[in-house]
Amino acid sequence: MGDFGFTLLKSDAGARLGRIGTGHGAIDTPAFMPVATQGTVKSLTPADLVAAGAQIVLANTYHLMLRPGHELIRELGGLHRFMGWDGPILTDSGGFQVFSLSKLRRIGEEGVEFRSHVDGSLRTLTPESCIVVQHALGVDVLHPLDECLAHPASAADTERSLALTQRWLVRAVAAHRAAGAPGALFGIVQGGVYETLRVRAVEDTCALDLPGYAIGGLAVGEPKPVLCEIAGLVAGRLPVDRPRYLMGVGKPPDLVEAVARGVDLFDCVLPTRNARNGQAFTADGPINIANARFARDPGPVDPDCPCEACRRFSRAYLRHLFGARELLVYRLLTLHNLTFYLGLMRRMREAVARGAFASFQSRFLERYGVESLRGTTDYTPADSEA
Amino acid sequence: MGDFGFTLLKSDAGARLGRIGTGHGAIDTPAFMPVATQGTVKSLTPADLVAAGAQIVLANTYHLMLRPGHELIRELGGLHRFMGWDGPILTDSGGFQVFSLSKLRRIGEEGVEFRSHVDGSLRTLTPESCIVVQHALGVDVLHPLDECLAHPASAADTERSLALTQRWLVRAVAAHRAAGAPGALFGIVQGGVYETLRVRAVEDTCALDLPGYAIGGLAVGEPKPVLCEIAGLVAGRLPVDRPRYLMGVGKPPDLVEAVARGVDLFDCVLPTRNARNGQAFTADGPINIANARFARDPGPVDPDCPCEACRRFSRAYLRHLFGARELLVYRLLTLHNLTFYLGLMRRMREAVARGAFASFQSRFLERYGVESLRGTTDYTPADSEA
């Protein structure tokens, strides 16, 4: 794991203020990772990401392995140089995409066999080859191949799947350690919506003493209170001195709720994907720029936002660009949404630093127009752990 | 015409170094105008345009009239404020788009009736309403409604069309002068490929004593030598103390050839449209980034180029983005191509300033891989006029 390390600086009302060190710079947590699926955050340059406040991006092992290929990226000096981003990069395992995007052919003890969604070629991914791909990319944080079930899944299916994921994890850890390559391999805690499976998964995963832990298998269709409950349950049982990453979450209120339950790291396609559908996030909730009420609106998307889109352009202009399908609007709304998400994380860090997270949480959720889920779950273990 | 003015600073080997003053700043000529059809240069911000070296942009009267509507833009403070560009803006008349994009219903003495390509609504455009639209946009340079014929057109059709265009011009000039609104109305010289008609058109148009003159009806399908011949013929007969704008031209060698014939202003969709098809312009000719030979090429598109795309990213990365249809590549290649075009104009201005345009011209065309057309025409009137 080389230069990787996590320092917990402060806890407040369940939320944690921390700092992750990597060979490519530090990440202040709680942190949100913009999604650079194919080695680019859609429409933005690395300089835009820095301007928006990003300290780390997430890339997809599955996509880059298929196109342009990890060996090509290795030849060209690794993913950082290839995409022109010199901050930390985290990759998922590719497992989620194998199950959601490809034509899955066979899943077995050895690994998965699937047809590429790019060219239809037959490919395999094993716990070991998945590590090889991520070493070729040269990323700072790696993830092991796992099986990600959709919701709902029966307890029996979930238990079988979890056991396979755990056996794959042991092989991934062995492959990573044997290679002696840089990069921190996180463990992924699966177990669906079943508390006993989640508890067992935490124990088995943490037994491997990994530098960080991801909470997987959520935001796959389960109700929001269940997401919060399971995330809180798992986060509360993970070691205090390691970062906790809630995969694929979420909407702004979800981030606040999860931070309140002790989660440190997030990624989600919502701010970038929804930008391309015209949705802009604001402190008062999301708006859709296509709405006719913005046709003659001279004000910015969000008067409090420091991004280029809000400093330079009106809602009326952005609505015109969106109606005319102009490329610039996708870029401007993406920049805005990421600025909003990353600004939200900064505000949460500042709230923890001054011991005011609980009041921040209730004020944010009230203004955003949602009720806190804090009272809807028996689990608030994040409150008791730091 | 208010703040508008043109100063011819120097002539050299037919090429002219000049400066246009407008109420929104100066334009050094020869100049290229990036095309902002719908009020945006596709994928770029105004700040990008400044970085690329743009001093003026072109917008389309036809498109903005239909969407979002010129009245809306007027309400929001005019096109400069609407699109966030505070430099000069030139609009074409919309005539070209009426004839090429819309379902033309009827052309008559009064004007044109057509169906909008946006929503199918029945619309009219007259010489007078065309001026009203451009006044609402608040642009610095306006153009009169004209009829633009495709090539080939018979002499009789061209003569009939030219006569209509001239009658419309007289009405446009009257409407503009009666309104007393700011903005400089250029005349458009039509006449197809027929020298006698072009000569007559120059005389009739210049008789109106306008602040600048556009050469229209070229780059519509005629052979390249004919384009150069007619452009040179017209430019050579236009008054020395007014800017000359060659509409819709062209490829980099065309710009050099036309500057050598005394043209001052250009616009063309090539650098922006072709960027979105993967074509990048370089001093050694265009390349297509999709070419397999770039798959592992770590070098920039153009090592001499100062743009962000060339400073930060490899051909291999851009090729990957293009293959994956990533929005960022359209933006980066657009930025590069405009930087190349605008840099070419700057180099031409510098060559004229030091009295070295002829050698610049031959060196540029040789390296670009095309032969000069200077010898292929009897007309080099630009040489004799300044």
With beta carbons under 8 A apart, name residues in chain B contacting A324.
38, 67
pLDDT at B91 over 70: yes
pLDDT at A49 over 80: yes
Q: How far is CA B113 from the centre of its chain?
A: 25
Average pLDDT, chain A: 94
**Best CA proximity match to B246, nearest among B24, B95, B33:** B33
Give the model's pLDDT for residue A3.
87
Q: Counting Cβ atoms within 10 Å, is residue A247 exposed (0-12), middle (13-18) or buried (19+)?
A: buried
pLDDT digits (tens, 9 = 90+) for A72-98: 999 999 999 999 999 999 999 888 888
Strand partners, A288: A279
Q: State the virtual CA torsion across B48, B49, B53, B56 in degrees, nearest 10.
A: -160
pLDDT at B381 over 70: no
pLDDT digits (tens, 9 = 90+) for B268-286: 999 999 999 999 999 999 9
Q: How far is CA B44 from the centre of its chain?
A: 18
Mutating which of B272, B327, B338 best tests the A interface, going by the most A Cβ atoms within 10 A? B327
**Best CA proximity match to A362, nearest among A286, A260, A287:** A260
pLDDT digits (tens, 9 = 90+) for A296-339: 999 999 999 999 999 999 999 999 999 999 999 999 999 999 99
Residue contacts between A and B (CB atoms, under 8 Å)? 106
Strand partners, A90: A58, A141
For residue B373, what pLDDT band results from cuts at 50, 70 and 90? low
Main-chain phi, psi angles of B66, to 5 degrees = -85, -35
Between chains, do A46 and B312 touch, taking CB under 8 Å as contact?
A: yes
For residue B374, what pLDDT band results from cuts at 50, 70 and 90? low
**Among residues A12, A48, A92, A383, which one is catalytic?**
A92
- The interface predicted TM-score of the complex, written ipTM, equals 0.95
Averaged pLDDT, A23-37? 98
Give the model's pLDDT for residue A104.
78
Q: Which of B43, B312, B316 sits opposite A327 (nearest CB)?
A: B43
With beta carbons under 8 A apart, name residues in chain B contacting A330.
327
Give the lowest-confidence range in B71-85, B93-107, B287-301.
B93-107
**Among residues B92, B140, B204, B383, which one is catalytic?**
B92
Q: Which of A42, A46, A83 sits opposite B327 (nearest CB)?
A: A42
Give the model's pLDDT for residue A374.
54
* Distance in angstroms (rounded) separating the CA atoms of residues B301 and B313: 8
What 8-state DSSP symbol labels residue A42? T
Give the model's pLDDT for residue A376.
43
Averaged pLDDT, A15-29? 98
Q: Which residue of B has its CA nearest to A276?
A: B327
pLDDT at B97 over 50: yes
Between chains, do A298 and B77 touch, taking CB under 8 Å as contact?
A: yes
Averaged pLDDT, B129-156? 96
Between chains, do B320 and A67 touch, taking CB under 8 Å as contact?
A: yes
Tell me the whole-structure pTM to 2 decimals.
Answer: 0.95
**Best CA proximity match to B350, nearest among B342, A266, A191, A189:** B342
User: End-to-end CA distance of chain A, in Å?
Assistant: 24
pLDDT digits (tens, 9 = 90+) for A214-250: 999 999 999 999 999 999 999 999 999 999 999 999 9
pLDDT at A347 over 60: yes
Give the model's pLDDT for residue A150.
87
With beta carbons under 8 A apart, name residues in chain A contacting B77.
298
pLDDT at A40 over 90: yes
What 8-state DSSP symbol labels residue A120? -
For residue A13, the SS3 value is coil
Q: CB of A113 within 8 A of CB of A122?
A: yes
Q: Which of A46, A296, A331 sits opposite B43 (nearest CB)?
A: A331
What residue type is B76 in one-letter code? Answer: L
Averaged pLDDT, A341-351? 98
pLDDT at B104 over 70: yes
Averaged pLDDT, B303-325? 98
Answer yes or no: A209 catalytic: no
Q: CB of A148 within 8 A of CB of A95?
A: yes
Q: Which of A82, A295, A326 sits opposite B72 (nearest CB)?
A: A295
- Residue percentage of chain B with pLDDT more than 90: 90
Answer yes or no: B48 catalytic: no
pLDDT digits (tens, 9 = 90+) for B329-351: 999 999 999 999 999 999 999 99
**Among residues B140, B146, B204, B267, which one is catalytic?**
B267
pLDDT digits (tens, 9 = 90+) for A179-197: 999 999 999 999 999 999 9
pLDDT digits (tens, 9 = 90+) for A250-285: 999 999 999 999 999 999 999 999 999 999 999 999
Give the model's pLDDT for residue A14.
98
With beta carbons under 8 A apart, name residues in chain A contacting B295.
68, 72
* Distance in angstroms (rounded) separating the CA atoms of residues B20 and B213: 13
* Distance in angstroms (rounded) separating the CA atoms of residues A295 and A240: 50
Give the model's pLDDT for residue A386.
26
**Best CA proximity match to A84, nearest among B367, B193, B309, B259:** B309
Q: How far is CA A364 from the centre of its chain?
A: 21
Averaged pLDDT, B237-264? 98
Main-chain phi, psi angles of B148, to 5 degrees = -110, 115
Contacting residues for A364 by C-beta, under 8 A, at least 6 apart: A252, A253, A256, A283, A344, A347
* Distance in angstroms (rounded) separating the CA atoms of residues A220 and A152: 9
Averaged pLDDT, B320-336? 98
With beta carbons under 8 A apart, name residues in chain B contacting A328.
40, 42-45
Which residues of B make CB contacts under 8 Å with A? 38-40, 42-47, 67-68, 72, 75-77, 82-84, 295-296, 298, 308, 312-314, 316-317, 319-321, 323-324, 326-328, 330-332
Averaged pLDDT, B225-254? 97
Can you list the positions of beta strands (E) in chain A?
5-12, 15-22, 25-29, 31-33, 35-36, 57-59, 89-91, 103-107, 112-115, 122-125, 141-142, 184-185, 187-189, 213-215, 244-246, 265-267, 279-280, 287-288
For residue B2, what pLDDT band results from cuts at 50, 70 and 90? low
Give the lowest-confidence range in A97-101, B36-40, B219-223.
A97-101
Average pLDDT, chain B: 94
Q: CB of A185 within 8 A of CB of A1?
A: yes
Q: Which residue of A has its CA nearest to B328?
A: A43
